[in-house]
């Protein structure tokens, strides 16, 4: 019994940054740790899917049911353009278990979004032991902003769905009534949410590439017109054949790209000012920089004792 307890304590120490500063593990230990984190993430997804499945047919206080939320854009179509014109607004089921599979698909999607902090934490906990404090800070900022941007894109897409449907159902000069099958309608809505959400991550990618030195503001300023043109072309290809969705996506991407350009401009200005203060630009190509950098360890991180928090200048 004592050996089992000591073994668990040893495993926890291997995963601990304080007891294992380098985050070193054997291949087998990495596999076991990955399996453990993946198991917790899957449990979170299953729990979220179960709640989403129940939410699909049940409202939660003032919050309508998930089924009503998904069906809302379709029901916003004028009744004279829907089929059947009278009675409650419903989607069409054409094969057995189609409604069940739609409820399961939408529930799992909603559960994955609602429980995102849980499974993202498991991903974070798996990679964090191999990162130092500065790297962890950048990773947390990236994940945080990526989640917010994805949610903002999905909300914008949901707001655009009624306008897109209104235009799309008007094709044919009134010769058709609209009665969507549940599977195709839900797939249309979810794909639009995914397209907008992923597209909103592009400006964040630009900022991260600038942070690691791949692109500079000078390069981005030269590419500005081309990147904005590409944003409009991309929006035209990935959105349905309606101007509202295309303009909304392209306009939002243009604003976010311009914001990312200004952030890279501020970053490059600060970087150039630091280089000027340290006179690095005056060094010859074969002349080493006048400092000695010692990689940080756990003792160098905030809150640790006995360490120093920055590199020492030896000149």
Residue 22 has pLDDT above 60, yes or no: no
Residue 296 has pLDDT above 70, yes or no: no
Residue 139: name the closest of 154, 120, 152 by CA: 120
All residues at 6 or more sequence positions from 132 whose CB lies less than 8 Å from its CB, including other chains: 295, 296, 301
What does the pLDDT look like over 194-205, one tens digit per residue? 889 889 988 888
% pLDDT > 90, the chain: 14
User: Measured at the alpha carbon of residue 260, what is the angle toward residues 254 and 266, in degrees to the nearest 5?
Assistant: 140
What does the pLDDT look like over 152-182, one tens digit per residue? 888 888 888 888 887 777 776 666 667 788 8
Residue 25 has pLDDT above 80, yes or no: no
Where are the domains positioned within the chain?
27-84+97-279
Cβ atoms 250, 302 nearer than 8 A: no
Residue 18 has pLDDT above 60, yes or no: no
| d(C-alpha 250, C-alpha 231), whole Å | 6
Residue 267: name the closest of 104, 106, 138, 176 by CA: 138
């Amino acid at each position: 019994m004592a050996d089992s307890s000591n073994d668990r304590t040893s495993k926890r120490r291997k995963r601990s940054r304080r007891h294992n500063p380098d985050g070193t593990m054997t291949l087998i230990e990495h596999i076991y740790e990955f399996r453990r984190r993946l198991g917790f993430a899957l449990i979170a997804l299953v729990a979220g899917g179960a709640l989403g499945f129940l939410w699909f047919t049940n409202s939660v206080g003032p919050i309508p049911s998930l089924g009503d939320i998904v069906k809302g854009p379709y029901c916003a179509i004028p009744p004279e353009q829907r089929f059947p014109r009278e009675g409650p607004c419903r989607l069409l089921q054409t094969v057995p278990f189609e409604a069940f599979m739609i409820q399961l698909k939408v529930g799992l999607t909603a559960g994955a979004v609602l429980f995102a902090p849980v499974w993202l934490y498991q991903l974070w906990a798996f990679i964090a032991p191999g990162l130092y404090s500065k790297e962890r800070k950048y990773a947390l900022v990236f994940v945080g902003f990526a989640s917010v941007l994805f949610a903002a894109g999905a909300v914008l897409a949901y707001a655009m769905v009624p306008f897109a449907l209104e235009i799309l159902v008007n094709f044919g000069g009134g010769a058709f009534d609209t009665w969507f099958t549940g599977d195709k309608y839900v797939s249309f809505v979810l794909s639009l949410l995914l397209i907008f959400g992923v597209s909103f991550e592009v400006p964040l990618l630009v900022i991260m590439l600038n942070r690691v030195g791949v692109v500079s503001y000078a390069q981005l300023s030269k590419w500005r017109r081309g990147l904005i043109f590409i944003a409009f072309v991309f929006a035209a290809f990935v959105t349905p054949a309606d101007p509202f969705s295309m303009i909304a996506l392209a306009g939002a991407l243009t604003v976010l790209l311009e914001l990312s350009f200004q952030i890279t401009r501020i970053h490059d200005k600060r970087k150039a000012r630091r280089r000027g203060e340290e006179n690095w630009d005056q060094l010859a190509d074969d002349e080493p920089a006048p400092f000695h950098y010692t990689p940080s360890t756990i003792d160098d991180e905030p809150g640790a004792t006995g360490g120093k928090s920055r590199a020492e200048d030896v000149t």
